[in-house]
């Protein structure tokens, strides 16, 4: 991390977290945020679900919720970017305060509740998206919708032609009863509608499913079977957790989804279980607690074909992207792997 980035982070951490988040978006939008030089290596070039990525490390949904800063983010070294979640109609989300830092735990708790400007506002921005980057969108549902499953299809139908992939998010803990859609019957019906909508887009894009870390092995097996039957192109494991095990931060009792370092082990266990349940037939994207090259490598060996991070950027800044990729490249060389794909799933047993 360079001195300017260290100073900027220190100043942001003196502010209310949600205000700091908005200020960082504004800094990127106006060109005031310094962008790191991307790290490239042929060993890191990755193929997943038909997508060609310059590297396997993507930006998770939740940072650029309304697709406001896709262009500068595309220059920051990520292999792919996921905006959103986006809902059909604008909605404010839950009351503030709803974002809390736990620096002692290198973690964050949020209870945003799908705050979104809505798909029409986002459509205008996606129409101007950078074409030289892999851009996806996290699909969401309105809180008061009478048919949340239909909401996912509606957002995909409106925005899908501007995207390289889309993610069905049924795992946010901050919208009441949303996680009920992870049940086999409800999930099968929801995915059927989404896949039917995809068939009407101008081109085929991969559809990913994002799941929660708070699942039993039986539930993981059910989700894997439904995903395979539905023809889903991959699973993102995982979203935030409701667990508060081992936390020491002053805000640890806040309600909402926990992300960051404490999520690394439980999300990696889910990842490895999914890899076993699917026999490696379904690409997996590992997310949860990644803050170092070693974390990234561990996720890959547990079964991930690609990765995402977000919370670690709160503490490490955008320069962390290049640091992780450089270290990951060195680990692949040291362990004798020519590509990320060669390392994928080579140490799942550690987590089972």
Annotated catalytic residues are 172
Q: Tell the residue number behind the tokens 């809180």, with chain if given.
A: 143
Distance set, CA 200 to CA 93, 122, 130, 151, 306 (Å): 30, 20, 23, 16, 27
95-99's contacts with Cβ under 8 Å and 24+ in sequence apart are 96/18, 97/16, 97/17, 97/18, 98/18, 98/256, 99/17, 99/18, 99/21
Alpha helices in 148-263 (DSSP H): 148-159, 184-198, 217-230
Structure tokens at 50: 């038909």
CA dihedral 256→259→265→271, nearest 10 degrees, is: 90
Give the count of beta carbons closer than 10 Å to the beta carbon of residue 4.
Answer: 11
Give the span between the Cα atoms of 350 and 344, in whole angstroms: 14
- Alpha carbon of residue 276 to chain centroid: 21
Alpha helices in 233-316 (DSSP H): 264-278, 293-302, 311-316
């Amino acid at each position: 991390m360079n001195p300017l980035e260290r100073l900027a982070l220190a100043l942001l951490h003196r502010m209310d977290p949600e205000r700091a988040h908005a200020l960082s978006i504004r800094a990127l939008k106006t060109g005031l945020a310094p962008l790191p030089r991307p790290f490239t290596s042929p060993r890191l070039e990755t193929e997943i679900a038909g997508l060609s990525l310059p590297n396997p490390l993507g930006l998770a949904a939740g940072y650029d919720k309304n697709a406001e800063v896709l262009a500068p983010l595309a220059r920051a070294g990520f292999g792919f970017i996921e905006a959103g979640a986006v809902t059909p109609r604008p909605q404010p989300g839950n009351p503030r305060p709803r974002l809390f830092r736990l620096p002692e735990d290198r973690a964050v708790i949020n209870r945003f509740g799908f705050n979104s400007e809505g798909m029409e506002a986002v459509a205008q921005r996606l129409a101007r998206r950078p074409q030289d980057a892999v851009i996806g969108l996290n699909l969401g549902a309105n809180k008061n919708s009478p048919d949340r499953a239909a909401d996912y299809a509606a957002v995909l139908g409106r925005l899908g032609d501007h995207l390289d992939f889309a993610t069905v998010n049924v795992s946010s803990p901050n919208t009441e009863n949303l996680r009920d859609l992870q049940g086999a019957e409800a999930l099968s019906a929801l995915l059927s509608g989404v896949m039917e909508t995809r068939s009407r887009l101008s081109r085929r894009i991969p559809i990913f499913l994002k799941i929660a870390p708070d699942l039993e092995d039986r539930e993981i097996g059910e989700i894997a079977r439904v995903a395979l039957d539905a023809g889903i192109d991959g699973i993102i494991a995982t979203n935030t957790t409701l667990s508060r095990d081992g936390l020491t931060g002053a805000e640890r009792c806040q309600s909402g989804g926990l992300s960051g370092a404490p999520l690394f082990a439980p999300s990696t266990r889910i990842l490895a279980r999914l890899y076993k349940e699917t026999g490696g037939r379904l690409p997996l994207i590992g997310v949860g607690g990644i803050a170092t090259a070693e974390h990234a490598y561990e996720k890959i060996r547990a079964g991930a074909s690609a990765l995402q991070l977000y919370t670690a950027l709160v503490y490490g800044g955008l320069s962390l992207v290049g640091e992780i990729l450089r270290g990951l490249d060195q680990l692949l060389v040291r362990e004798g792997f020519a590509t990320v794909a060669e390392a994928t799933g080579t140490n799942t047993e550690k987590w089972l």
